[in-house]
Amino acid sequence: MIAKQIKSYEKIEKYDTETTAILAENYKSIIENLGENIYREGLEKTPERAAKAMQYLTHGYGLDPLEILKSALFTEDHKQMIVVKDIEVYSMCEHHMLPFFGKAHIAYIPNGKIVGLSKIPRVVDAFSRRMQVQERLTDEIKNCIQEALNPLGVAVVIEAQHMCMCMRGIQKKNSVTTTSSFNGAFEKNKTRKEFISLVSNKLS
């Protein structure tokens, strides 16, 4: 039997070192001001971990959603509705810096151009990984798709739970917030109903 050398586990992460250091110092002060001992074992590395986590949770600031869509545009004579639903959304409420999460349902009707399907969830991530409010997030996604594709219409619906409502304040853990944004063909009742039906129903 040939012995194989087992390499030790090495986690590779890329974060801006200066930003990490600044954020870590701020988190250290916050933890201390909350009355905790920053030097105890469980918290000793928490400021750095939190600094890296926050950079990841807001990495959308470094992404250009419009360029994401433009990188995968294709000419296609398709005039029917295209729906991408149940896209996972994870974002950060800008009012309390607590998470909100849920699903986005997006549709557009092409006008000579279609986009690679994976780019739509990437655009959702690019906008959601920022300090956000759900209402603005919904509009930003719609406007970006409209600008990149110039389709006959765009529809965006987001359903999300907000930890600022579940963990604090009113403490309603089962509440769900739904926002929508429509333009073009989706402003017509018939087209909008078709979209809602496709989003709501499970296709066999």
Annotated binding site for Zn(2+): 93, 96, 164
Residue type at position 10: E
- In the set 105, 134, 140, 144, the catalytic residue is 134
Residue 96 known to be catalytic: yes
Helix (H, G, I), strand (E, B) or coil at 170: coil
Q: Are 50 and 15 spatial neighbours (Cβ–Cβ below 8 Å)?
A: no
User: Could you say which of 95, 135, 147, 187 is catalytic?
Assistant: 95
> How long a stretch of residues is the chain?
204
Annotated binding residues, written as ranges, equal 93, 96, 164
Catalytic choice (93, 105, 140, 144): 93
Burial readout 32-54 (b: 16 or more C-beta within 10 A, e: otherwise)? eeeeeeeeeeebeebbbebbbeb
95 as an active site residue: the answer is yes
Candidate list 59, 96, 159, 166, residue with the active-site label: 96
The CA distance from 84 to 123, in Å, is: 12
Strands (E), 8-81: 73-75
Check if 162 is active-site. yes
The single residue of 94, 135, 147, 187 carrying the catalytic annotation is 94
Active-site residue set? 93-96, 134, 162, 164
